[in-house]
Amino acid sequence: MTGPLDDVLVVDLSRALAGPHATMMLGDLGARVIKVEAPGRGDDTRGWGPPFVGEPRESTYFLSANRNKESITLDLKDDADRDLLLRLVDRADVLVENFRTGVLERLGLGVDELRDRNPRLVVLSITGFGHDGPEGGRAGYDQIAQGEAGLMSLTGSGPDDPQRVGTPIGDLLAGMYGAYGVLAALHERSRTGTGSVVRTSLLAAVVGVHAFQGTRYTVAGEVGVAQGNHHPSIAPYGLFHCADGAVQIAVGSEGLWQRFCEAFELDVDGLSTNAERVANRSRVIEVVEAAFADWPAEELLARLGEAGIPAGKVRTLDEVYAWDQTASQGLLVIVEHPTLGSLTLPGPPLRFFAGTAETTPREHTAPPTLDQHGDAIRAWLS
């Protein structure tokens, strides 16, 4: 691949999702990513299913986080394999790992040892709850982190119904923050000539996206709770039922509220400001759903669009991937897998332009089979 990072070599010692998502992001940008996996079994996610596809079977979970990578199997407890890894480190720009604290040190591969060999190396290290502190050694799994970091308390139909987000958002956010930290460290290295260590965690990543819910507590002393599909600070903003389903609207300003009332011939007292509407949320929901009750969803969305009210439907994933807007943004890529043939994968979320010409990398490689590139990498290092 070509791209903004096509001169960067990444050694990926991570598994599961947070680290692999970070390295996939770097691979999407053109970096050469060499994924080091345990012999015989590989990344944990190779066994996470069903669904599995093909024969030998491949996990769709693994396929989601490992495009644009090469795979080599190494036993890090074996002297010869550990020596080969160190030769990779000598050439690398970035190393990514998400072992529990202390594991690499016990293998003789601690950060200090790695950076003694290669002072330009940038190391990204991802843990569950941080590398230090009273609970720094805890293992990190996404749903546990979503609960511990407060996200589940904000998600669900109400305070007594905590729910996890439907994707492993803590893992994904940690990977995203990690990749962003790596890019900052590479930029710093261009000035100093020396690499650095970037650390993040699932806890840090989730707290990092508390946004207004965080300051709602730290500044105002209010503890946010789950309240279903309606925004805690803006009304009406959420999901509302209509004649044959539901639509979502976001009335985020007083001007939009006025246009909304005009479009649906609403004349209600005591709801002219957002503060009044938030304080009387139940009444707002009743007013809006009464106005929508006789409207079919498609006609309602058209009417909202004419009035300039931000609105949308709730799509299933098959509808999202069939949507022409999704395809227009490069969010589907086709790759050739060595055993599964042609695959369509969700694509990278970034696009690049030089002036008016798009320079987004368009060629992508399929997630590798286990040790697919082992012989080639060993020959390259010899």
Residues marked as catalytic: 171
Alpha-carbon Rg for the chain, nearest whole angstrom, is 25
Q: For residue 276, give Cα distances in angstroms to 71, 213, 237.
A: 58, 20, 14
Residues in CB range of 209: below 8 A, 6 or more apart: 173
Whether 36 and 72 have beta carbons less than 8 Å apart is answered as yes
108 contacts 175 by C-beta, under 8 angstroms: no
Q: Give the residue from 210, 171, 207 showing the smallest Cα distance to 48.
A: 171
Residues near 112 by Cβ (< 8 Å), separated by ≥ 6? none
Q: Could you tell me if 288 and 236 are in contact, meaning their C-beta atoms sit under 8 angstroms apart? A: yes
Distance, first Cα to last Cα, the chain: 24
